[in-house]
A and B are shown apart, each in its own frame.
Chain A
Amino acid sequence: MTMSNIFLISSTSLIFIGLFGVLTRKNIVKILLSLNIIETGINLLLVAFGYKEGGKVPILTSSDSINHLGNMVDPVPQALVLTSIVIGLGTTAFALGLTIRYYKTHGTLNIEANDEEEVTAHE
């Protein structure tokens, strides 16, 4: 089994673990944790898609490094991961803010709580 396959399998398993959490958990905080696990898995998966056996960092440090352009790992997935990390951060921050509000309005963190106004007995 090559290094590349290990990366692929481990990141896919992370995504599966996260998906299982999102599908089965009822607590919003746990769902958000699972979402974060999915995001981590995706970031690893994307980096693994650019991985190269014995590859170098795609940063030029000296005149010598230009001769090794062919040995460098693919820089594009890394750029994509940078974006996806920021989007993941935004999702988490926004969702946690909403969760605080949800706890205040619903009195529970259960995602299946009724949204209708009539049952507002907790406040």
Chain B
Amino acid sequence: MKNDKSLLLNILAIAFLAVLAYFIYSVATSNDIGIKVTDNNVVENRVAYRYLNKNVLDENSKYEWGGKAEDSAANVVTSIVADYRLFDTSLEVIVLFITVMGFGLVIPKENIKIKESTELLYHWTPLLMTYMLLVGGYMFINGHISPGGGFPAGAIMSTAILVGVLAGKQTVSHTTLKKIEAIAGTLIFSIATLGFFLKGSFFINFLEGGNVGDLFSAGLIPILYTLVAFKVAAELSGIYFEFYEGGEEHDNV
């Protein structure tokens, strides 16, 4: 009986997906006039073209390598993520914040003992951690001129802390991580608010830009990425600590 029901469910699901697929096929092969989803990508007709040319403020402006521009990050994706659409990125930080907090809220608090690490891991951990922290640090400092940025850098740095946890070394405490998280988050939004008081607009890049391609360029972007990296690292590391840190569970039904 149970099998009959699940077979019916599978058939229904396949039928539904087939209808959907036919719909998409008919959309893709439609011959009516107008912009179609299957047309070739033309960057010139999109907002991205102005981002690439860095001429959002002034349509006729041009820029050169090593010269000034409205947003002097050499990595155009970074200049979108952390300048043109900075508001989205700061909300992304909140998404991570609330999901990790929700995770800590719902996970059952049990005392789980971590197996003692092997000799090999224990002694190599400091070296591994140093390299990981260095790579992470490089990534957020250089996020505006090469691929990288705050989120991957934070993920790499939290891996370093995970290695420390696995090796049984005392690196940082859970409370310190919570503090780093809250301070970095508060600073990101304080900088956003500072823009309002300095230039009259929230989330504005109010620092002097510098030259395209320099390490010290793109104004606020490196600072913001540093904060994002620390916040992401603290949040992701918090997940590891939630697993084995026992404690009293509040019952409030």
Contacts and interface: CB of A to CB of B under 8 A. Distances in A.
Direct contact of A and B (CB under 8 A): yes
A52 B41 contact: yes
Given A82-B81, A93-B99, A97-B102, A74 B65 contact: no
Contacts, number: 126
Contacts of A61: 74
B16 A60 contact: no
B96 A86 contact: yes
A69 interface: yes
Contacts of B64: 63, 66
A15 to B, nearest CB: 10
Given A74-B46, A86-B95, A90-B96, A20 B14 contact: yes
Interface of B: 6, 9-10, 13-14, 16-17, 20-21, 24, 40-41, 43-44, 46-48, 51-53, 63-66, 74-77, 80-81, 85, 88-89, 92, 95-96, 98-100, 102-104, 106-108, 145-147, 149, 151, 212-213, 239
Given A24-B13, A58-B52, 20 more contacts: A4-B41, A16-B21, A20-B17, A23-B17, A24-B9, A58-B76, A59-B146, A59-B147, A66-B63, A69-B53, A73-B43, A74-B43, A78-B77, A82-B77, A82-B81, A82-B149, A87-B95, A90-B96, A90-B98, A94-B106
